[in-house]
Copies of this chain bind each other. A is one copy, B any other.
Amino acid sequence: MAAKPSIPKGTRDFSPVEMAKRNYIFNTIRDVYHLYGFQQIETPSMEMLSTLMGKYGEEGDKLLFKIQNSGDYFKGITDEELLSRDAIRLSSKFCEKGLRYDLTVPFARYVVMHRDEISFPFKRYQIQPVWRADRPQKGRYREFYQCDADIVGTDSLFNEVELLQIVDEVFARFGIRVCLKVNNRKILSGIAEIIGESDKIGDITVAIDKLDKIGLENVNKELSNKGISAEAITKLQPIIQLNGSSSEKLETLKEILLASEIGMKGIEESEFIIASLQSLNLMNEIELDLTLARGLNYYTGAIFEVKALDVQIGSITGGGRYDNLTGVFGLSGVSGVGISFGADRIFDVLNQLDLYPKDAVNGTQVLFVNFGDKEATYCLNILLKVRAAGIRAELFPDTSKVKKQMSYAHNKNIPFVAIVGENEMKENKVMLKNMESGEQNLICIEELITILASC
């Protein structure tokens, strides 16, 4: 049995260098989450299908990876049912478990199951993979990590402010210049209310979003094609052509949405969030963007999205407020707000802009060459001291040709090689070679430690 192995399509192996980069991303996000008092939880990879089904729409249900029941999975299925070959309906008989599709539904389930031990408001973060049976394509995987932070059990807008501070801080640490786009579901509801087209708000935001590309005339044509009345389109004109700073946009919206209670509430919320953030001197620009309409059925207040300024790529982080996260599991009245960093896209952006810090790799700092058992055994004692000083060090395990050992150090990007032969042992010293400059120095162990601890 020597078939050439492969991995499932849409999944990936991560090499040491890729892992180091990914860990740099996760650790940066994690550190900032900790600075703001978020605590980590983890949930099982498998959830009951009863927990997952019906939460992501009909399309989402189809994209769930379902796990075949153990043992006799035919039990309880009649011959007629089997022969019907109704794949969708029989899934729930063959399978009672599925892989999680996102971190939000498992989090909602967690909050409901653990509500008696949780001290609200609950600030949790979660960094785990999720699985979707999507058609794989460039940048879209069947297994990928999400990095979510949510606060539940509070409707204070200070949460929105702090989450956007987190986003600002994380991208500042990465060195990625971004624009933080904010919107508010209540403003969108207000617009729909004012123009009398409450059920068309999705079409409207999509059309407005195309203004730059297709021009005002075509936007209006598209709105009309979508069945929006001429009167409504007329009323929409000042909104489509809204421009200026965020404050200017909000001033204009105040006039337009004056008659909509919910619209005015959305404006008030956005004013608070944007003004608070402006007083905190964010590193990145913040912008009110009415075309932002992500998860429209889901979010009820603020909506966030982050765009990288120096790379052409979709949204790299998003989030917003939802008012009834846990209602579907029988616990109502739990308002929350959250963000989710797109680790895979951030990975690509950091690569494209070559922004990974050199020391993110946590690689070996020095390789000890192996000249034979006697020398190697001698080196083990030196290694003891070197590692006790926190220096990452290796002994080449085999007595291979020096050239091979050097090329190992080179391939693994190890910056220093320590050479200990007969002479060095006699003098109780080490020949330290700098792999970049080629320079060699005969030094004692204490010097070796000083040099390596400082790089």
Give A contacts to B, CB under 8 Å: 1-8, 11-16, 19-20, 22-23, 34-37, 39-48, 50-51, 54, 62-63, 65-68, 70-74, 79, 82-83, 85, 87, 91, 94-97, 99, 109-110, 112-114, 117, 119-121, 123-124, 129, 131, 133, 142-143, 151, 154-156, 158-159, 161-162, 276, 279-280, 327-330, 362-364, 367, 370, 376-377, 380-381, 384, 387, 390-399, 407-408, 411-412
Contacts and interface: CB of A to CB of B under 8 A. Distances in A.
Given A7-B48, A46-B143, A397-B151, A1 B377 contact: no
A20 B40 contact: yes
A44 B72 CA distance: 27
A159 B40 contact: no
Contacts of A161: 380
B412 A119 contact: yes
A43 B13 contact: yes
A397 B156 contact: yes
A291 B1 CA distance: 33
Given A44-B11, A73-B87, A156-B397, A112 B280 contact: no
Instruction: Identify the 10 closest CB pairs spanning chains A and B, nearest first.
Output: A37-B394, A2-B330, A11-B44, A16-B39, A119-B411, A156-B397, A37-B364, A74-B85, A70-B133, A14-B42
A377 B276 contact: yes
A55 to B, nearest CB: 10
B2 A328 contact: yes
A35 B393 contact: yes
A398 B35 contact: no
Q: What number of copies of this chain does the assembly contain?
A: 2
Nearest to A361: B39
Contact of A154 (B87, B91, B398): B398
Main secondary structure of the interface of A (DSSP, over half): mixed
A35 B363 CA distance: 9
A381 B276 CA distance: 10
A325 to B, nearest CB: 13
A421 to B, nearest CB: 17
A30 to B, nearest CB: 9
Contacts of A279: 377, 380-381
A5 B398 contact: no
Contacts of A65: 46, 67-68, 70
Nearest to A35: B387
Given A7-B47, A13-B44, A14-B41, 16 more contacts: A5-B48, A5-B329, A6-B113, A7-B43, A11-B45, A11-B46, A13-B110, A16-B124, A19-B40, A37-B393, A45-B129, A65-B68, A82-B82, A119-B407, A119-B411, A156-B399
Contacts of A121: 396-398, 408
Nearest to A126: B19
A9 to B, nearest CB: 10
9 contacts: A3-B330, A13-B42, A13-B44, A37-B392, A45-B143, A63-B70, A65-B70, A119-B412, A156-B397
A5 B113 contact: yes
B41 A15 contact: yes
A408 B42 CA distance: 22
A330 B200 CA distance: 59
A68 B95 contact: yes
B67 A1 contact: no
A87 B74 contact: yes
B280 A395 contact: no
Contacts of A328: 1-2
B44 A19 contact: no
Nearest to A155: B398
A178 B135 CA distance: 50
Nearest to A399: B156
B73 A79 contact: no
